[in-house]
Amino acid sequence: MKCAPACLLSAFLCATLLRAGDAEIVAALESKGGVATELKGVVTAMTFADCAKLTAPDYALMGHLTAVKQLSFGRGFDDAGLAAIGAASGVENLSTNGMDISDEGARALAAWKGLKSIAFFHPGKRFTGTGLAALAGLPHLERLTVAGSLEFADEGMAAVGTLTPLKNFRTWHSGVTPEGVRKLAALKNLTSIHLGQRLSYAPPVTLSDAALPLLAELPLLEDITLSEARLTFGALGHLKKLVHLKRLTLDGIDLSGSDIASLEQELPKTTVRWTPPNEANQKRIEALFP
């Protein structure tokens, strides 16, 4: 297949920039809407709120940045873009908001051997999370967030459950049910977890009393955040088993002030922070817990 003149020019510029080094690559990416973040005069992060202007050669340049440890992408980041980056082994943190990566496409991240943290906010409908199972071999992956997608549900949670080195996991406003929450039972290295409510106004829920016994079996937990649910004092009592628990955040949790006072007595070594549901939270809670 012959390459169009514009394609040949782009490839030529890419090769030229690769020979020039990071400064020239960063300048070229900034012309396409990228925002660089510097630390002590060195560009360590690049953010693309809108990826519409990025071409395959632009993405390819990112895989050759030597000092960049963090890449962030907004809408327009898709399978082709991710594949074009290649094995970005120096990148430690990847964040997306509104990506259009599929489960199959996400498997390419298995080549990013330096990854420590991944955050997918509002992923597109082609991402259910099942592709995350391909990342089980990443040696340094410790933090994962998937939030704002009904397509991310129980099968995605099963894939998360295979990422046993994880120390921090967060999910909210997803399609996860209690069955999906149970898929996290193998994550015995977790020190921090955030479970938020299903983005729905009809059962089943994501977070309920049923989740508390499971959390109590994750022995290293130090920090728990639970949001948008109706929980009972009795179920929260399961957390007494967590000898390392330092912080318990109950954000928009339907629970009485007296129960919170009792919970603080039950967990004397744990800082308990509670905010009652606001009007929007309460409306969802009433619908989910009829």
182 belongs to a structural domain: no
User: What are the CB-based long-range contacts (under 8 Å, 24+) for 277-284?
Assistant: 277/228, 277/252, 277/253, 278/252, 281/228, 281/252, 282/254, 283/201, 284/197, 284/200, 284/201, 284/228
213 preceded by cis ω (within 30°)? no
The verdict on 150 and 272 lying in the same domain is no
Range of the domain at 58: 1-154
- Could you tell me if residue 133 is inside a domain? yes
Note whether residue 177 is domain-resident. no
Q: What is the pLDDT of residues 93-138, one digit of tens each?
A: 999 999 999 999 999 999 999 999 999 999 999 999 999 999 999 9
The average pLDDT across 128-152 equals 97
**12 pLDDT more than 70:** no
Q: HSE on the CB side for 174, CA within 13 Å?
A: 29
Give residue 41's pLDDT. 86
Question: Does 138 lie in the same domain as 18?
Answer: yes
Verify that 132 and 27 share a domain, yes or no.
Answer: yes
Shared domain check, 138 and 34: yes
Which of 73, 69, 74 lies closest to 39 in space, CA to CA?
A: 69
- The total domain count for the chain is 2
252 falls within a domain: yes
Question: What's the token pair of residue 141?
Answer: 């992956």
How high is the pLDDT of residue 20? 52
Within a domain: 161: no
Say how many C-beta atoms besides its own lie within 10 A of residue 175's C-beta. 21
CATH number at residue 110: 3.80.10
140 and 227 housed in the same domain = no
Residues contacting residue 257 through CB under 8 Å, at least 6 positions apart: none
Last residue in a domain, options 132, 154, 176: 154
Same domain, 10 and 150: yes
Residues 221 and 124 in one domain: no
Do 101 and 219 fall within a single domain?
no
251 and 141 within one domain: no
- Judge if 145 and 202 occupy the same domain: no
Same domain, 203 and 59: no
32 & 88 share domain: yes
pLDDT of residue 23: 87
pLDDT at 185: 97
Tens digit of each residue's pLDDT (9 = 90 or more) over 25-54:
999 999 999 999 998 889 999 999 999 999
Q: Is residue 91 part of a domain?
A: yes
Task: Examine the pLDDT at 175 and tell me if it is beyond 90.
Answer: yes
Write down the pTM of the prediction: 0.92
User: Could you tell me the sign of the dihedral formed by the alpha carbons of 154, 215, 251, 280, in that order?
Assistant: positive
